[in-house]
Structure 1
Amino acid sequence: MIEAGQFVEAARQHGFTWYTGVPCSFLTPFINYVLQDPALRYLSAANEGDAVAIAAGATLGEGRGARAVTMMQNSGLGNAVSPLTSLTWTFRLPQLLIVTWRGQPGITDEPQHALMGPITPAMLDLMEVPWELFPTEPEAIAPALARAVRHMDETGRPYALVMQKGSVAPFPLHPAERPARVAQPASVSHIRGVAPSALPTRRDALARIIARTPLAGTVVLASTGFCGRELYALDDRANQLYMVGSMGCVTTLALGLALSRPDLQVVALDGDGAALMRMGAFATLGAYGPSNLVHLLLDNASHDSTGAQATVSPTVSFAGVAAASGYSLALEGDTLDVVEALFDASAASPNDGPRFACLSTRLGTPDGLPRPKITPEAVKSRLMDHIAQRAQALA
């Protein structure tokens, strides 16, 4: 058994200062220790997949030397499969995973862990996440971290430490910590005025967004599917990233990036299907999201990229959800004035909290829409270089 501080302080020497995840009783000492160190940052995610995306965003913003730890119970690996296989693997955004081993063979545990326990190692192997047991002796900590860091640096991909029961001694939490900002529900502002047949297209909206997001000082992260492809087709810029897979994770990726780079305005372009998939992210952004984070949802009430099957978005007020979750601004409407109002508010007000708008758009996509010819890894590297150049210019 080790002390929480022994691992966290050794990890700090390697640059691990970002922690996120979903609690497990095995992880309690770690979380308690990190929460009470003002030089470390811990974000409580709504689910494990969101935590992976938050850590990936922090890595994207901090640069190649930045390191993040994502903690989860092994039961949460299912929630994390998509971002681990189509975000961190595809874009080569490394992070250290600490996965608890509930239901480990030979150890009595709760019935819900009876299957996940035996298959945890195989799941990590299938996702090409190399792993080893979490160190339980002080002298084993440094070698384990060295192996993890070497893999992360050489491959750009995650490494996992699988934590057995009783690996870390208790560490108390005094007092209990909570997100710093208490949600003050915003009112929803409506900007409407057109008939359904006159709704703006996604292309109209993206063109307006490009006009409001200059290379200097802004980053645009586009949701998976036609949103990213159409943004690429309009103008492939160094300050843009096009999600491939990881549906619903664009906002939590943007959260990690915005927190790590307060000098940038980070714009997350979301879709109704993606937002519905991970609606817990609204609460996480409302609690932790900074004022430089802009969340714009383009709602055409369909899964357009897969054949235009209807979503249930007509029954949902996304702006109402954002307002109730603690966003500082919540807009919804059906004209491009929604985009203008969102960006004007973001530029004019430094108030705490992210800003949100939902723009209703017309269904449909231009014929012959191309797929990006630049690879996801190249898009990531180009964006990181662009961000680094800005940092150098500000230094």
Structure 2
Amino acid sequence: MIEAHEFVDAARERGFDWYAGVPCSYLTPFINYVLQDPKLHYYSAANEGDAVALIAGVALAGKRGVTMMQNSGLGNAVSPLTSLTWTFRLPQLLIVTWRGQPGVPDEPQHQLMGPITPQMLETMEIPWETFPTDAAEIGPALDRATAHMDATGRPYALVMQKGSVAPYALKSEGNRTRPAHTPAVTTLTGAAPSALPTRTDVLARVIERTPLENTVVLASTGFCGRELYALDDRANQLYLVGSMGCVTTIALGLALARPDLRVVALDGDGAALMRLGAMATLGAYGPRNLVHLLLDNAAHDSTGGQATVSPNVSFAGVAAACGYAFSIEGDALSVVDRLFDAESVDGVRFGCVLTRPGSPDGLPRPKVTPVDVQKRLGRHIDDTGARPDVTPQASAPAVS
């Protein structure tokens, strides 16, 4: 058994300052220590896949991060672990608890996941070893992890057994107060269905409002990224493939790790519905340099135009209820302008534009590979200077 600070201090020496995850009783002392260290950043995610995506955003900023989860949450994390971190080569250290470990009595819901946890990691090509339980083992384990991450650009896992870390109490529950009021939602509507803007119209306006210097644009999977690429393949853009619904949490990680950048997440209605809990995470932690723009055509356009349930949802209402500082929706391009003009708002901003379904004929797929576009973006933001009007935002208080 080790003390939490022994691992955290050794990890910090190797550049691991960023943590995200979903709690497990095995992780309790570890998370409690990280939460109460003012020099570390910890973010509580709605699910394990969102935690993986958030730390992927941190990696996109060129920093090291740790994602913590119970092994039962590996199922939630499969998509970003196989089509985001693996595909784009965005490394992170995984700490996965081993509930239901063979030979260790546990609850019935862990009886299957326990024995197959190593197999799941190996199937996803994630090398793993057991979490160190002796102080002398910590440094070598972290060195093996960082060597793999640096060589491959992909995750490495430490599987934590019961009793690996000595208890550490959470001395404060943090600020549990709610906002005094929900921010108002601005609605701009009135266009006939045939007069709705197209996705291309909206993306062209976004390009106008996101100059290369100090702005990053992350586009959701499907036609959103492909149309953005077709309009103008710029060095400050990344086109997500796979990991549907993860663009907002990737953007959150990048915006938190690089407060000097304006980070724009381009979302879709189907993707947002898949991971709606991510909006609560953005509402809690989202800094003022993060902009979330959702293009809603009420369809899964890239898979044949099947309908989504978005006509029953006010995404701007959800954003406001989740704590976004600014929320607007409508059926005109002016929504984009109002969203980008609200720079004085102290917090994350949200806009939803209703668009017509459909895409241009002959829409190309990006010729740049995911790894190449990630590296290109990394080089671009490395050369980007700080914006004087954007300041870092501290982690939100712990909420138990």
Q: What is the TM-score when the length of structure 2 is the normalising length?
A: 0.95
Amino acid in structure 1 at the alignment position of 2:44: S
Counterparts of 1:388 and 1:235, CA distance in 2 = 21
Matched-pair contact (CA < 8 Å) for 1:181–1:287? no
Contact 2:26 2:162 in 1 (8 A): yes
Q: Secondary structure at the match of 2:68?
A: strand
Deviation of 1:352 (Å):
2.4
Q: Is the 8 A contact 1:267 1:293 kept in 2?
A: yes
Give 3-state SS (helix, strand or coil) of 1:390's partner: coil
Counterpart code for 1:17: D
Return the alpha-carbon distance in structure 2 between the equivalents of residues 185 and 293 of structure 1: 19
What CA distance in whole angstroms lies between the structure 1 residues aligned with 2:147 and 2:175? 34
Aligned partner of 2:359 among 360, 365, 374: 365
Residue 30 of structure 1 aligns with which residue? 30
Identity %: 74
Offset of 1:393 from its aligned partner? 10
CA contact (8 A) 1:183 1:286 kept: no
Residue 384 of structure 1 corresponds to: 378
Query: Hey, what's the Cα distance between the residues in 1 that align with 2:181 and 2:169?
Result: 30
What amino acid sits opposite 2:219 in the alignment?
A
Matched with 2:48 is 48
| Partner residue of 1:248 out of 239, 245, 249 | 245
Matches within 5 A, 1:1-395: 1-61=1-61, 63=62, 66-178=63-175, 182=179, 184-346=181-343, 349=344, 351-391=345-385
Question: Matched residues in 1 for 2:150 and 2:178: separation?
Answer: 35
Equivalent pairs, count: 388
3-state SS of 2:383 partner? helix
CA distance in structure 2 between the partners assigned to 1:202 and 1:296 by the alignment: 12
Shift of 1:178: 4.8
In 2: Cα distance, 1:151 partner to 1:345 partner: 43
Partner letter of residue 23 of structure 2? P
Aligned-pair distance for 1:193?
2.3
Give SS of 1:98's match: strand
Following superposition, the deviation at residue 175 of structure 1 comes to 1.0
Scaled by the length of structure 1, the TM-score of the pair is 0.96
Q: Give the superposed CA RMSD.
A: 1.4
Deviation at 1:174, TM superposition (A): 0.8
1:170 is displaced (CA, Å) by 0.3
Q: Which amino acid aligns with 1:289?
A: G
Worse overlay, 173-182 or 16-25: 173-182
Contact 1:95/1:157 (8 A) holds in 2? yes
Unaligned 5+ runs, structure 2:
389-400
Please say if residues 218 and 239 of structure 2, whose CA atoms lie closer than 8 Å, have aligned partners that are also in contact.
Answer: yes
Q: 1:72 to 1:268 in 2, by over 3 A?
A: same
2:191 counterpart SS class:
coil
- Give the conservation status (yes or no) of the 8 Å contact 1:239–1:386: yes
Deviation at 1:183, TM superposition (A): 7.4
- Asked if structure 2 preserves the Cα contact closer than 8 Å seen for 1:329 and 1:354, the reply is yes
Amino acid at match of 1:36: Q
User: In the aligned structure 2, how far is the partner of 1:383 from the partner of 1:231?
Assistant: 15
CA distance, structure 2, for counterparts of residue 239 and residue 305 of structure 1: 24
Q: Is the contact made by 1:104 and 1:118 (CA closer than 8 Å) also made in structure 2?
A: yes
CA contact (8 A) 2:148 2:154 kept: yes
Shift of 1:353: 1.4
Find the aligned partners of 1:389 and 1:178 in 2 and give their Cα distance: 37
User: C-alpha separation between the residues in 1 aligned to 2:354 and 2:80?
Assistant: 27
Residue 27 of structure 2 aligns with an amino acid whose one-letter code is L
The residue type equivalent to 2:258 in the other structure is R
Offset at residue 391 of structure 1 (A): 4.0
Note the alpha carbon deviations across 1:105-125, whole angstroms, 9 max, x for none. 111100000110000000000
Counterpart of 1:24 in structure 2: which amino acid? C
Letter in 1 for 2:362: G
Contact 1:52–1:80 (Cα < 8 Å) also in 2: yes
Counterpart Cα distance in 1 of 2:385 and 2:138: 33
Distance 1:179 1:21, change over 3 A: farther
Letter in 2 for 1:234: L
C-alpha spacing 1:220/1:393, structure 2 compared with 1 (3 Å): closer
On the 8 A contact 2:261/2:386 being kept in 1, the answer is no
The structure where helix makes up a greater share of residues is 1
- Find the aligned partners of 1:112 and 1:232 in 2 and give their Cα distance: 44
- Asked whether the equivalents of residues 183 and 325 of structure 1 are also in contact (C-alpha less than 8 Å), the reply is no
What secondary structure, in the 3-state scheme, does the structure 2 residue paired with 1:356 have? strand
C-alpha distance after superposition, 1:213-252 (max 9, x if no partner): 0000100000000000000000000000000000000000
Distance 1:332 1:387 in 2: 30
3-state SS, counterpart of residue 19 of structure 2:
strand
Runs of 4+, deviation exceeding 6 Å: none
Contact kept? 2:261, 2:387, Cα under 8 Å: no
